[in-house]
Every structure is written in structure tokens, then in C-alpha cells.
Amino acid sequence: MTDFDEAALRTSLVKAYNQVENKGLMNQSSGNLSCRLPGGMLISCTGASAENLTEDRVVMVNDDGSFVGKLKPSTEWRMHLEVYRRQEKANAVVHTHSDYCVALACNNLPLPGFHYMVGLFGNSSVPCVPYSVFGSQELANDAAEGLTDQAACLLGSHGMICRGGDFDIAVGHAERLEIICKHYVLARSLGEPDLLTDEQWDEFFGRAQKVAYSNFI
Ligand SMILES: [Zn+2]
């Protein structure tokens, strides 16, 4: 990022936080959002909610983990910062405990390629990384690694995290993952869903390139 406007990014973060809340993905303020900034990132403060989050309650965290101002960043700041360190495509990150993502994550189940929309995260499945206690560097490392080949991953016995080139893309992924996890839970209630074959995935990604689906990732 060379061109940025910190005030505009703070406003975008507050707006995106409210979108995630309004989409029903936030579950009692369990989530947190961030965006990349030269030298670090901006992230929602600890204790943030849709009612209390304003631009001046967004916290700047430097690359070295130090933060600016009196308010503390979300307890999951390590997880967000590690994503920006490892994933250069990430400019915005959303973490939530949305219902159907939690349902899979608490069975430590990945989301397999049972539906072609899974491919919109950039791969033929969405992994579930092992559980580690919230706020830990171990969780941060696993989550950042889980976003290497796809824009979203599940966090074992916890929730989900996704990245995007901007907030619109990241919030879209958070909503999409919740919907597709719901579809998977419903499909599994009827049996063991069929998975797309390797040939079908090749065909999907070939077509997705043509219609610029890859712009989402
Ligand atoms: Zn969490």
C-alpha cells in the first residue's frame, strides 16, 4: 500500500463491522475486523460492539505489535497481524463466530468441495486449523497458514477467519462461508454429500478465470 487515507480506512472499518453485525454473523460481538496500513494495521478495539465502535475506537497496531493510544486492540490482534505478515494479498481481515462456521469448527471438520461455490475462496476446500487458545501466537500462526491457498479457513473449536483485498471482499467471504457451511450441514443431514471430482474442479477454475471470479481472491 502506497496510497492511503487513515481516516477513510477507520470509517471503512466501522462500516464493515456494522455490515457483519447486520448480516447476523457477529454473535454478541464475538468478531473483530482489521485492515492493513503502512507499518501495521488498524483493528477494532477490545470490547468493541456495533453500538460502541466509532472511528476513534479503532486501534493502530504497529508491525512490532506495539499499539498507539489508550485503547487496547482486540485480543485477537496477533492473528490479524500474522495474516498481513504472511499473505500479501490481504488488505482486510474478518474473524467471527458465526453459527454454521462454528458448527463445523467444533467438530474440527473442514468444508469439503461439495458445491462449486466453495471454489470462490480460491481452492477446492476450506481447511479447519487446529484449536489453540484465543489470542495466542500459535493460533495466529495456524490461522495465517490456513489462508495461504484460500481466502478463508475455519478455526478448530472456535470460528472462522477470512482475508480480502478490501473490506467488501472480506465481508463477502465471511457471509459466503457462513451460507455454504449452512448448506453443508443441511446436505449432511440427508447423508454424505457428493464431492466434485478433480476434473470438475479443473473445469470450474478454468471457467472462473474467464468470468473473473478470481478477482474475489
Ligand atoms: Zn474468536
Query: Looking at residue 46, which CATH number applies to its domain?
Result: 3.40.225.10
What is the whole-number distance in angstroms between the Cα of residue 62 and the centre of ligand 1? 21
Q: How many A from CA of 152 to the centre of ligand 1?
A: 14
pTM: 0.95
Q: Is 181 part of a structural domain of the chain?
A: no
What type of residue sits at position 23? K
SS3 118: helix
Inside any domain, residue 182: no
Quick one: which of 104, 120, 129 has its CA closest to 185? 104
Indicate whether 111 belongs to any domain: no
Q: Say if 186 falls within a structural domain.
A: no
The CA 160 to ligand 1 mean position distance, Å, reads 8
Burial label, 58 (beta-carbon count in 10 A; 0-12, 13-18, 19+)? buried
| CA of 215 relative to ligand 1 center, distance in Å | 27
Q: How much distance in Å is there from the Cα of 3 to the middle of ligand 1?
A: 31
> Could you list the residue range(s) of the whole structural domain that residue 169 is in?
6-106+127-175
The answer to the question of residue 210 being in a domain is: no
Span from the CA of 50 to the centroid of ligand 1 (angstroms): 16
Distance from Cα 162 to the centre of ligand 1, integer Å: 12
Residue 149: name the closest of 65, 109, 89, 64 by CA: 89
- Beta-carbon neighbours within 5 Å of ion ligand 1: 159
* Number of structural domains the chain divides into: 1
Segment holding 10, helix H or strand E: helix 6-22
As a whole number of Å, the CA-based R_g of the chain is 17
Asked, for residue 205, whether it belongs to a domain, the answer is no
Q: Does a structural domain hold residue 162?
A: yes
Print pLDDT tens along the chain (217 aa).
445 799 999 999 999 999 999 999 998 888 999 999 999 999 999 999 999 999 999 999 999 999 999 999 999 999 999 999 999 999 999 999 999 999 999 999 999 999 999 999 999 999 999 999 999 999 999 999 999 999 999 999 999 999 999 999 999 999 999 999 999 999 999 999 999 999 999 999 999 888 766 556 6
